[in-house]
Amino acid sequence: MKKILIIFLILIIILAFIAAYNNNPRVIISNLIKKGDIKTGELRYTMYFFGVLPVGEAVSAVEKIEEYDGQRVYHLNATAGSLECYSKFFSGFAVLDSYVDMHQLNPILFKQKVIVSSKQGLDKEIIYDQKDGIMIIAGTKCKILPNTQDPLSAVFNIRRIDFDKIKNFEISLNSNQKNYILKGNATVQDILINKKTYKIVLVKTQIARRDKNPYHKSSITMVFLQGKENIPILIKVFASGVSINAKLIDIK
């Protein structure tokens, strides 16, 4: 019994060490520095289950300026998929696209495609009419609040916040017919790496339904490397008792 307890404690210590290492902003930035100058670009992440077990990869592409419905927009794109080593047991892949008005930085179109194992893909397309305060999904019109965002455009806007001036913010979210509110607060910190000071921003957010439904809550903690365009180096999502972390490993 003692041997089992000792092994269990050792395992807990090892897992705690791995989680601490994976979630350490100083380690993440140091590894990025070894690959060259840190600047905005295509962001590549490794996703971890509870901060320990690598389960997938995600890529956030550089926004593109395109024409959509007679106006110039930012086209945002992100993809995520499970690791190949799990393909015998499970496979999943998701593609997200958001088309954002260049002046108001509000989405006008959001697309989502999710494929899980061999099941039929789950496609979603949402049209946002910010002027009339509605969104259209699967032919159904829903009321939205001013400046409502989808998941991609929300992060796009957060990355452009000047956290030296703004510490608290609120964002309206809706990508599933229900209005949500994202409340965030930010703390700016200095860290020293190789005798050079870097500014990071710890942003803690809570997401909840506007109708105050107690069963639809989640939290997201993000760590940004501060700059003209803040770079998310670590994203922790906790929802329904499950934690998934995304650690930035490369910038192209």
Mean pLDDT, residues 72-88 taken together? 90
5: confidence class by pLDDT, cuts 50, 70, 90: low
What is the tens place of the pLDDT at every residue in 112-121?
998 887 666 6
Structural tokens at position 162: 């000047």
Q: Compute the distance between CA of residue 64 and CA of residue 77 in angstroms, rounded to an integer.
A: 9
- Predicted TM-score (pTM) of the model is 0.89
Q: Which of 14-28, 34-48, 78-92, 111-125 tops mean pLDDT?
A: 34-48
Domain boundaries, the chain: 2-251
**217 vs 41, 169, 170, 234, 241, CA distance in Å?**
31, 18, 15, 21, 11
Position 85 scores a pLDDT of 82
Dmax of the chain from CA atoms?
A: 71
Half-sphere exposure of 16 toward its Cβ, with a 13 Å CA cutoff? 6
Give the integer Cα–Cα distance in Å for 38 and 45: 15
pLDDT of residue 118: 64
Q: Which of 38-52, 74-88, 140-154, 236-250 has the highest mean predicted lDDT (pLDDT)?
A: 140-154
3-state SS, residue 37: coil
For residue 122, the model assigns a pLDDT of: 79
- CB contact at 8 A, 110 and 98: yes
Q: Is the pLDDT of residue 234 over 80?
A: yes
Provide mean pLDDT across the span 93-111. 96
Q: What's the pLDDT band for 166 if we cut at 50, 70, 90?
A: very high
- Checking 45-49 for CB contacts under 8 A at 24+ apart, the result is 45/235, 45/246, 45/247, 45/248, 45/249, 46/246, 46/247, 46/249, 47/80, 47/244, 47/245, 47/246, 47/247, 48/22, 48/244, 48/245, 48/246, 48/247, 49/242, 49/243, 49/244
Mean pLDDT across the stretch 176-195? 92
Q: Tell which residue, 179, 249, 248, 170, has the closest CA to residue 203.
A: 170
Angstrom distance (rounded) from CA 154 to CA 174 = 10
At residue 10, the pLDDT reads: 64
Cβ atoms of 172 and 155 within 8 Å: the answer is no
Coil vs helix vs strand at 164: coil
The pLDDT, as a whole number, for residue 90 is: 76
pLDDT for 95: 95
For 158, phi then psi, to 5°, come to -60, -35
